[in-house]
Structure 1
Amino acid sequence: MKTYARTLTIAGSDSGGGAGIQADLKTFAALGCYGMSVLTALTAQNTKAVTGIFPVPPAFIAEQIKAVLSDIGADAVKIGMLHSPEVIEVVAKTLVEFGATNIVLDPVMVAKSGDKLLQDEAVDALKTYLLPISTVITPNLPETSVLLGRAVETQADMLPAAVDLARFGSRTVLVKGGHLTTEESADLLYLATGEHHWFATPRIATENSHGTGCTLSSAIAAGLAKKRSVEESVSAAKSYLTHALQTGAVYTLGHGHGPVHHFFNVWQ
């Protein structure tokens, strides 16, 4: 009997479909994985703004994780929006309980619209509970700045920042350079061995960039689920996101930041 590459996303729902659970599941499907989901919050959201957040109780989040991992299991886990310290702690403890591996943490703090998605007191919980068990963490520059408590704004800042983030326990750190003002979008992958690699892609002029962080981290998880190395998974994920941005740039959806085209390899 054949089996699937099993990928689990633990994140918030985006009613507009461009980010969160919806972007994760689309990415998993596009990359040939069987996607499962644990909802941490419902958001009323579109391309312009987040107008409401309805949190899921921590105990029920744990129930969802247990239901999936006790029966189906997961070859990789992507973690996105976790809004409170209590949620962060219960997610980390439940994943440890079931021996989850290949954990990709996207420390979502602010939506593309600028709306805050993480409570201030939750940052310490991320450092304490989730960073130590993560295989890869994928913060952008503002998220890196919050985690380290200092400004990380230039390409020169990124390697020292990655080294310091790795001290929290994650085996691999991908500091994303989407907020740089350079012509290329350069991401830095820092490994536990001390090696580092730059992944630079042309910067694409588009308003359709909603859900890029969710999509990239989910694509990395898909690679890990298919037993690729971290470097291979990150490289393939960068290529997938670049094509999704390029293809999605010619579409119009909504009146704000539209989504990338997750299924460019299936239809256009």
Structure 2
Amino acid sequence: MADVVTGVEASAISVLKRAVEMDTARRFDESLVCYQEGINLLLQVLKATSDQSKKERYRKKISEYMDRAEQLKSFVIETKNAGGSHEQIQIDDNATGFGMEKLFSRFMTDFLTEIEIEDPYIRAHHQICSLLRFCEVVVKSQCPVKEIRLLTGRDEYPDAQMQQQQKLNQLKKSLHNHGIEFNWSFHDSLHDREIRFNTGWIVKIGRGLDIYKASDNKFSIGSIDLDLRPCHKTTVDIFHTKSINKSKDDTS
């Protein structure tokens, strides 16, 4: 009997090790299957074990793996359901209530590790401030983002180029202090403005991050809280890469 338990325990360890590897590799469908199989094996070991200290250890590990499996299950279901998802938000001229957290906090999940921003106009001071405020939402959410990549245009004037580089370097240093690597590159012929999350979600904003109007002065309402800042007229399109792949499959 002891040999059987040992064999089942070895199988459980092997399967759960595979589950963690698939989880780390973001192969969540496969990881979920391995977690479920490994948990079932550990339950068999728990049932056949009389040692109370071992039982307690098994219960703790089973609980941890079950919590992760439930998280993965919810994420996998949400991703599959997002296949036909397309949400459009119309922001009218002078509209308020569209701060960075309102627009982006829903994407700051436990599965988000990388963000790509493509926006040709992260150049002027107020545009870099908008990028900073987006990054603050990321940091505040405490999601496990490890890298933010920016593709933008270079300012056309040498002095302004230097200031642009200095400000981006300052942001890079600050994000590094929060465990996030920030990298950027320049491209002279960018047109699209979109933010891509490696959970599959894509947010396209007609004006990019530069959607807020200038404050009347430093002491006017909305100068600090972007929820209260009037916006420029723009359109926000939110969709998932699954919907793109589905459209390609439908037309093939």
Return the TM-score normalized by structure 1. Answer: 0.29
Larger Rg computed on CA atoms:
2
Higher strand share: 1
Higher helix share: 2
Query: Which protein, 1 or 2, shows the higher relative CO under an 8 Å CA cutoff with sep ≥ 6?
Result: 2
